[in-house]
Structure 1
């Protein structure tokens, strides 16, 4: 619990400490989205280009992107446990930021080996930072505070300020001058976030300084054992897939994808077993409710997270990006459209939830609507994609603008509200781990989306129809199950 006092200065009506976390997350997202805007474009760029990439096939690049993004959101499972049980939220965020910055600077080195090593470092650092900075935001508010959802929406706007600026800066440097210069600029962003964190430490008033439930010596040793088992298992799986004829890169992406899909099944089974003997009679029902939110979020991110792969290549290969006869915007710049819409609409949604208060739609309603909306955003792309395949007619950029507008509305319905609900559904002592599970939903969805995009790379119309149709279908399922979900959530709105 924080030691914030009512007399303390506020940040747009919220605890002043929120400003520190707001800007740290803004710069972390700048670094991540700056790199993400370049990743797939760099992977597919021909070796003969003056600014050469790795010349990979579109399908392979999409699989790499999906699996890497999935890994970014898988590592918070370990990062949440480390914060909850070993070092506390505050130090986890600090060390995570340091590792992320190091990863970006490794990618700035013009070497394929350091490029892959840097991707791994960013995934590991994000695992420490991402769930735990959100946990610190949750700890700024008391249980039942009606400002909590609005606070998370404001925090979410900071994320999108970084996401908006990153493709413009890193994308321009990477595509127009040198890919590695763009990757290095992303590292500068994370470094600025670390400076902000150090300067604003006093405002946190001890939030996250200590682990909520310190681990025993035996539990500490078990972490190393689990890490070793996962490492050996992944290596064995890569070897097996290679023997079955998969190329090395494909074998790695497939092995990581399998791990990402297995982990949540095991994790929820373990949590449900532990809640059978819980002293809190509502714990098991809340975990079951969270599973529904997890599945809905996974399907949502399956579509949404293809913005850095499928939609990025759609912008590069299918969209007319010419502004004048002599100038076309870089494809990476289209990645700034959705964050710009978030910046515009996040305050609107935040104000709506504050004004409605207890009359606002429940989380289950918001999730169902978000799924239908994000599904439609992909289904409409069947029209311009079909035209391009028929006669080579390039799509106008307004198709992407419409897609990102719909995805913005869906994201604002699902993401900040789901994040807020997660902090309230988490059992005592498991906040960091439950936030990690929330981000694992993104991992699962991104991985599945990457595999679908890779498998349907030769038929983009089928890809849009399949992903969009699945999202709409699950939105309908959640609508039909809404009364059951609400009953499981109890007083969590």
Structure 2
């Protein structure tokens, strides 16, 4: 089986095709993201919904705080899970363990008593720690060192993430808002079970990728040390720098599940021919644009790379931040008509659609490229940990973003809704400017990795 996968790799490189195992991982991640984003679409609205409507009746500030803590911890645990997968479990067992824990977490959320709600969040946090870095690591290992297909592979993989997010937001969102919040949470659990079953059935396609690491019979006291070389240190500086700027990206981008979700729920006219669009469905717009635009971006990077015109990672990150800032500038302009102190409004939904389009284009310039660069620039012996660091940066961004999201009601009352969104315009544009200035130096530190 190992030889079969090796032959498939070589043939794929010659013919510029991806191995079939990529698509197995694609569907595994798709169903896991169905569960995650289906649940995420509901979380904030469930928290702020009136008790009489089955919600918890929390304030926006309280909901934003819990949302930030939850999404932040979801990205902290991969640092630990990545280490355990690297050293002890292997990536396959980590995916299976993580999937089982998350399935149990969603099942717990489907039960109404509040203690089960908190238990479910805890299981999802821990399970994601095992699952997320492991499946991302296996995608990179499908390709030999220096493969030009790797960026394209991560973009395709990212398309699977967002196909799951699209379906999860629509199906779980509809069930949650129209039938009952816990039905939506339960549907998310079904998606996780399907993803886990699909991975277990198709695991043979991976050859030896993801198996438990072999234990070397070496005396611990006399074990040879492997210090980082200068090239490895320089490349890790680039990973850490890009991870820092990803914090600034995600703290703004992740407003989608919190403040932008509240904006859709309270301040957007959602009526179409007398039918009200569920607020949760707006979160599927980003995912829709991802899987429709991702093939274009994938082909664009490949074609530019063949002509040696492909922008390097730092420049792509900076472009992503500019597009993110433009998306929030759209919301600044679109919310100018909302009077100070208003608790509801009827802003055209087209402002949200346009903002999500720009955010999606920015995301495609940053997130899949970031995953690929963590794989390319990290030493093989540290790759799981460095994926953990990448997700830790997302954790920090999510936590800060949740705290900022909690300010939406207060700023709408004391200043304006436009002032709230202007915060994220300023952060994104300032970060892009600084990164453009640093990019030339960062490219040198990459030592030929492009």
Contact 2:42-2:176 at 8 Å conserved across structures: yes
C-alpha contact 2:330 2:354 (8 A) present in aligned 1:
no
Structure 2 counterpart of 1:465, from 405, 418, 422: 422
Instruction: Kindly report which structure 2 residues correspond to 1:180-219, keeping only aligned pairs within 5 A, or say none.
Output: 180-211=182-213
CA displacement 1:331-366 (0-9 Å, x = unmatched): 001111010000110000000111111421000110
**Alignment of 1:41 onto 2:45:** yes
Distance 1:333 1:428 in 2: 40
Per-residue Cα deviation, 1:32-85 (whole angstroms, up to 9, x for no partner): 000000000000011122xx1010001110111111101000000110001011
CA contact (8 A) 2:16 2:149 kept: no
**TM-score in terms of structure 1 length:** 0.84
The change in CA–CA distance for 1:375 and 1:57 in structure 2 (over 3 A counts) is same
Write the distance in 2 (CA, Å) between the matches of 1:94 and 1:330: 33
The farther-off stretch of 8-17 and 111-120 is 8-17
Which residue of 1 is the match for residue 316 of structure 2?
A: 366
- The structural deviation recorded for 1:215 is 12
Partner in structure 1 of residue 443 of structure 2: 486
CA-CA distance at 1:211 after TM superposition: 2.7
Q: CA deviation at 1:295?
A: 1.1
Counterpart in the other structure of 2:414: none
Q: 1:342 is matched with which residue: 290, 305, 325?
A: 290
Give me the CA root mean square deviation. Answer: 2.3
Instruction: Give the TM-score taking structure 2 as reference length.
Output: 0.92
Out of 16, 19, 24, which is 2:23 matched to? 19
Q: Which residue of 2 aligns with 1:351?
A: 299
Question: What SS does the corresponding residue of 1:202 show, helix, strand or coil?
Answer: helix
Q: Aligned to 2:147, what secondary structure does the other structure show?
A: coil
Task: Give, in whole Å, the separation in 2 of the partners of 1:428 and 1:329.
Answer: 47
Q: Structure 1, residues 276-322: CA drift from partner, whole Å, max 9, x if none? A: x8252212111111121011111110111110001110000001111
State the match for 1:319 in structure 2.
Answer: 268
Which residue number corresponds to residue 286 of structure 1?
A: 235
Q: CA deviation at 1:483?
A: 1.2
Q: Aligned partners of 1:382, 1:75: CA distance in 2, in Å? A: 35
Contact 2:8 2:19 in 1 (8 A): no
Q: What is residue 36 of structure 2 aligned with on the other side?
A: 32
**Which of these residues, 132, 137, 140, is aligned with residue 139 of structure 2?**
137
Q: Give a deviation string over 1:445-493, Cα, whole Å, max 9, x none.
A: 1111111222454114333111221111010000011111111112121
Give the length in aligned residue pairs.
Answer: 434
Structure 1: how far apart are the matches of 2:123 and 2:202?
Answer: 25
1:389 aligned partner: 339
CA separation of 1:412 and 1:279: change in aligned 2, threshold 3 A:
closer
Distance in 2, matches of 1:458 and 1:12, equals 53
Unaligned runs of 5+ in 2: 412-416
Q: Is the 8 A contact 1:379 1:469 kept in 2?
A: no
The residue number in structure 2 matching 1:166 is: 168
Deviates more, 1:298-307 or 1:422-431: 422-431
For the residue of structure 2 that corresponds to 1:82, the secondary structure is: helix
Task: Say if 2:269 and 2:345, in contact at 8 Å, map to a contact too.
Answer: no
| Structure 1 residue 57 corresponds to structure 2 residue 6 | no
